[in-house]
Amino acid sequence: MAAASSVAPQSSPLHLCERLLLFLVCFGRNPNPRFRESMEGLSLIFRVFSWLCLVASVGGIGANWGTQTSHPLPPSTVVRLLRDNGFQKVKLFDADAGTMDALGKSGLEVMVGIPNDMLAVLASSSKAAQNWVSSNVSAYINDGVNIRSKLRYLIRVSLVESFAYSFNWYVAVGNEPFLETYNGSFLQTTFPALQNIQSALMKAGVGSQVKVTVPLNADVYGSPSGRPSDGDFRSDIHDLMLAIIKLLSDNAGPFTVNIYPFISLYRDPNFPIDYAFFDGNSSPVVDGTISYTNMFDANHDTLIWALKKNGYGNLPVVVGEIGWPTDGDMNANPQNAQRFNQGFMNHISMGQGTPMRPGPIDAYLFSLVDEDEKSIQPGNFERHWGVFTYDGLPKYQLNLGTTKTGSLIQAQNIQYLDKKWCILKPAVAPDDSRIAPSISYACSQADCTALGYKTSCGDLDEQGNISYAFNNYYQKNDQDDIACGFSNLATVTEKDPSTRTCRFEIMIVVDSGMPGKLQGVRDCGVALLLAVFVSVVWQLV
Do 116 and 254 lie in a common domain?
yes
Residue 239 falls inside a structural domain: yes
Do 368 and 287 lie in a common domain?
yes
Do 317 and 219 lie in a common domain?
yes
Do 441 and 406 lie in a common domain?
no
Whether residue 462 lies in the annotated active site: no
Q: What is the 3-state secondary structure (H, E, C) of 245-264?
A: HHHHHHCCCCEEEECCHHHH
Residue 361 falls inside a structural domain: yes
Residue 374 falls inside a structural domain: yes
494 Cβ contact list (under 8 Å, min separation 6): 419, 420, 421
Whether residue 382 lies in the annotated active site: no
pLDDT, position 10: 34
Q: Domain residues for 428? A: 421-493
Q: How many CB atoms lie within 10 A of CB 354?
A: 23
Residue 85 falls inside a structural domain: yes
Q: How many CB atoms lie within 10 A of CB 320?
A: 29
Do 224 and 311 lie in a common domain?
yes
* 363: β partners: 61, 319
pLDDT, position 168: 58
Categorise residue 280: left if φ over 0, alpha if ψ from -120 to 50, beta otherwise.
Answer: left
Please report which residue ranges of 104-223 form alpha helices under DSSP H: 119-124, 126-133, 139-155, 190-203
Average pLDDT over residues 162-186: 80
pLDDT band for 32, please (50, 70, 90 cuts): low
Q: How many CB atoms lie within 10 A of CB 500?
A: 7
pLDDT digits (tens, 9 = 90+) for 306-336: 999 999 999 999 999 999 999 999 999 999 9
CATH of the domain at 439: 1.20.58.1040
pLDDT, position 46: 47
The one-letter amino acid code at 452 reads G
Residue 292 falls inside a structural domain: yes
Residue 511 falls inside a structural domain: no
Cα gap 315→244, rounded to integer Å? 12
Whole-structure pTM value? 0.83
Structure letter (DSSP) for residue 166: G
Considering only residues 166 and 339, tell me which one the structure prediction assigns the higher pLDDT: 339
Q: Is the Cβ–Cβ distance between 108 and 87 less than 8 Å?
A: yes
pLDDT digits (tens, 9 = 90+) for 431-450: 999 999 999 999 999 999 99
Residue 1 falls inside a structural domain: no
Q: How many CB atoms lie within 10 A of CB 164?
A: 17
Residue 521 falls inside a structural domain: no
pLDDT at 361 over 70: yes
Cα gap 242→269, rounded to integer Å? 34
pLDDT, position 59: 59
Do 345 and 425 lie in a common domain?
no
Do 405 and 427 lie in a common domain?
no
Instruction: Provide, rounded to the nearest whole percent, the portion of the chain with pLDDT above 70.
Output: 79
pLDDT at 8 over 80: no
Choice among 18, 321, 382, 505 that is catalytic? 321
Do 344 and 403 lie in a common domain?
yes
Do 371 and 478 lie in a common domain?
no
pLDDT, position 151: 33
Q: 96-110, 244-258, 265-279, 440-454: which has the minimum mean pLDDT?
A: 96-110
Q: Is the Cβ–Cβ distance between 202 and 244 less than 8 Å?
A: no
Considering only residues 533 and 163, tell me which one the structure prediction assigns the higher pLDDT: 533
CATH of the domain at 221: 3.20.20.80
pLDDT at 29 over 70: no
Do 136 and 254 lie in a common domain?
yes
pLDDT digits (tens, 9 = 90+) for 231-241: 999 999 999 99
Choice among 176, 371, 382, 505 that is catalytic? 176
Cα gap 476→3, rounded to integer Å? 34
pLDDT band for 58, please (50, 70, 90 cuts): very low
Mean pLDDT for the chain?
Answer: 85
Q: Is the Cβ–Cβ distance between 326 and 332 less than 8 Å?
A: yes
Domain count for the chain, please give it.
2
pLDDT, position 104: 84
Cα gap 125→112, rounded to integer Å? 20
Q: Is the Cβ–Cβ distance between 415 and 422 less than 8 Å?
A: no
Nearest of 76, 88, 64 to residue 12 by alpha carbon: 88
**SS3 category, 209:** coil
Nearest of 56, 60, 61 to residue 341 by alpha carbon: 61
Do 15 and 81 lie in a common domain?
yes
Considering only residues 113 and 107, tell me which one the structure prediction assigns the higher pLDDT: 113
User: What is the dihedral sign for C-alpha 411, 413, 415, 416?
Assistant: positive
Residue burial 476-497, b: 16+ Cβ < 10 Å; e: rest: bbebeeebbebeebbbebeeeb
Do 533 and 480 lie in a common domain?
no
